[in-house]
């Protein structure tokens, strides 16, 4: 009799446990269904909502930004990066890793480091500051990660500007020094190619003085509501300027006086400082790699030889 009572109690406990487990499963299914039916932050058209963590993996923006209030309102950007930027309505700076590495440092084949590009995207409202277009092609981008970049023409005379270079529109005259792969801009009168130049490597005590040209890596015309985008190679070297200018000038050679002048962009101090901060982090990482190539002085502790950036 006692044995039967114990069996009944055991079966009762098992039944209660099964009911509890079933309830948990139903609850988990309901929760999963709620998650599936609830729109994720990543589906939002508002940038600030889209970049807010909602409990699941998401693609985090790797750019540092500056923009006007109108641009922030249009895309739902955070107000803290609104500054008095001139010549563009927004700019985005980032550091990208190339798909390959540089190797052979310190006399070792296996001593490799990442190759970085410091890039800046300029968002230009062409209803206010039009660009001097010299092509009907709406969008072109240099294939930086393509296998084509490893190939060279057998006879350089066949492709003197490289295998990735796109021929300009008939009648447009290339800059005589730059081997630009894209030539979307030119002076409509002289037909001379227009190039982007900057003063970011020149001290502010020197006034406005050009430090060099910026490679054009891509563009999209009429991206959205009169906005066109150009992507430029900014350069990863450190600099001291508080503000940076970028100009679009038509020139025969890089350091010649301009044949014609077009867009002028002024990047404000807050944005420039955020660029410097990001470059400093990258520079510290690279410095640790270079130190790792050599044995530390006797009596000190250094980075291990196998450290990689």
Q: Are residues 30 and 88 in the same domain?
A: no
How many structural domains is the chain composed of?
A: 2
Residue 309: pLDDT over 90:
no
Q: Write out pLDDT tens, residues 6-44.
A: 555 666 566 556 556 666 665 656 655 555 556 788 888
Please list, in sequence order, all residues whose beta carbon lies within 8 angstroms of the beta carbon of residue 291, skipping any fewer than 6 positions away: 302, 303
Q: Are residues 33 and 169 in the same domain?
A: no
Q: Are residues 149 and 13 in the same domain?
A: no
Q: Are residues 19 and 129 in the same domain?
A: no
What whole-number distance in Å separates Cα of residue 179 and Cα of residue 86?
Answer: 29
- Residues 230, 138 contacting (CB under 8 angstroms): no
Q: Is residue 155 part of a domain?
A: yes
Q: Is residue 308 part of a domain?
A: no
Q: Are residues 195 and 122 in the same domain?
A: yes
Q: What average pLDDT score do residues 178-189 get?
A: 91
Q: Is residue 210 part of a domain?
A: yes
Q: Are residues 22 and 90 in the same domain?
A: no
Is pTM beyond 0.85? Reply is no
Please list, in sequence order, all residues whose beta carbon lies within 8 angstroms of the beta carbon of residue 19, skipping any fewer than 6 positions away: none
DSSP secondary structure string for all residues of the chain: -HHHHHHHHHHHHHHHHHHHHHHHHHHHHHHHHHHHHSPPGGG-SSHHHHTS--SS-------EEEE-HHHHHHHT--GGGB---BSSSEEEEEEEEEEEEEE-GGG-TT-EEEEEEEEEEEEEETTTS---B--S--EEE--TT-GGGG---SSTTTSTT-TTPPPPPTTPBPPSS---S---BB-TTT-BBEEEEE-TTS-GGG-S---EEE-EEEEEEEEETTEEEEEEE---S----SSEEEEEEE-SSTTSPPSEEEEEEEE-HHHHHHHHHHHHHHHHHHHHHHHHTSPPPTTS----TT---
Q: Are residues 143 and 10 in the same domain?
A: no
- Residues 176, 192 contacting (CB under 8 angstroms): no
Question: Which long-range CB contacts under 8 A does 25-28 form with residues at least 24 apart?
Answer: none
Q: Is residue 90 part of a domain?
A: yes
Q: Which of 33-42, 49-58, 146-155, 291-300 has the highest mean pLDDT?
A: 49-58
Tell me the average pLDDT of the chain: 84
Q: Are residues 25 and 129 in the same domain?
A: no
Residue 16's domain comprises: 2-38
Residue with tokens 């009429």: 222
Residue 306: pLDDT over 80:
no
Q: Are residues 122 and 232 in the same domain?
A: yes
Q: Write out pLDDT tens, residues 105-157.
A: 888 888 888 888 899 999 999 999 999 999 999 999 988 878 887 888 888 88
Q: Are residues 33 and 139 in the same domain?
A: no
| Confidence (pLDDT) at 204 | 72
Q: Write out pLDDT tens, residues 60-109.
A: 999 999 999 999 999 999 999 999 999 999 999 999 888 788 888 888 88
Q: Percentage of the chain surpassing pLDDT 70? A: 82
Q: How confident is the model at residue 225 (pLDDT cuts 50, 70, 90)?
A: very high
Q: What average pLDDT score do residues 49-53 get?
A: 89
Q: Are residues 146 and 16 in the same domain?
A: no
Residue 55: pLDDT over 90:
no
- Residues 222, 228 contacting (CB under 8 angstroms): yes
| Confidence (pLDDT) at 119 | 95
Q: 289 versus 60: which is more confidently predicted?
A: 60
| Confidence (pLDDT) at 56 | 86
Q: Are residues 21 and 120 in the same domain?
A: no
């Amino acid at each position: 009799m006692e044995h039967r009572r114990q069996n009944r109690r055991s079966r009762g406990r098992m039944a209660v446990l099964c009911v509890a487990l079933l309830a948990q499963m139903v609850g988990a299914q309901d929760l999963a269904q709620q998650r599936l039916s609830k729109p994720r932050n990543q589906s939002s058209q508002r940038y600030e909502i889209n970049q807010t963590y909602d409990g699941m993996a998401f693609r985090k923006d790797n750019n540092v930004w500056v923009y006007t209030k109108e641009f922030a309102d249009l895309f739902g950007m955070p107000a803290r990066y609104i500054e008095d930027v001139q010549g563009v309505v927004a700019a985005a700076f980032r550091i990208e890793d190339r798909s390959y590495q540089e190797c052979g440092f310190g006399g070792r084949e296996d001593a490799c480091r990442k190759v970085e590009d410091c890039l800046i995207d300029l968002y230009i409202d062409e209803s206010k500051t039009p660009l001097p277009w010299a092509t009907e092609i709406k969008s072109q981008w240099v294939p930086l990660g393509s296998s084509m970049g490893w190939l060279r023409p057998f006879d350089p005379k066949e492709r003197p500007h490289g295998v990735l270079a796109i021929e300009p529109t008939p009648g447009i005259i290339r800059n005589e020094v730059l081997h630009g792969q894209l030539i979307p801009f030119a002076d409509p009168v002289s037909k001379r190619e227009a190039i982007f130049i900057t003063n970011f490597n020149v001290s502010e005590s020197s006034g406005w003085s050009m430090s060099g040209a910026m490679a054009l890596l891509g563009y999209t015309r009429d991206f959205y509501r009169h906005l066109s985008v150009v992507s430029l190679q900014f350069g990863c070297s450190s600099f001291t300027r508080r503000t940076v200018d970028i100009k679009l000038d038509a020139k025969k050679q890089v350091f010649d006086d301009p044949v014609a002048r077009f867009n002028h962009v002024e990047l404000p101090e807050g944005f420039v400082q955020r660029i410097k901060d990001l470059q400093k982090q990258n520079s510290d990482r690279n410095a640790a790699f270079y130190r790792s190539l050599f044995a530390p002085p006797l009596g000190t502790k250094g980075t291990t030889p196998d450290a990689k950036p």
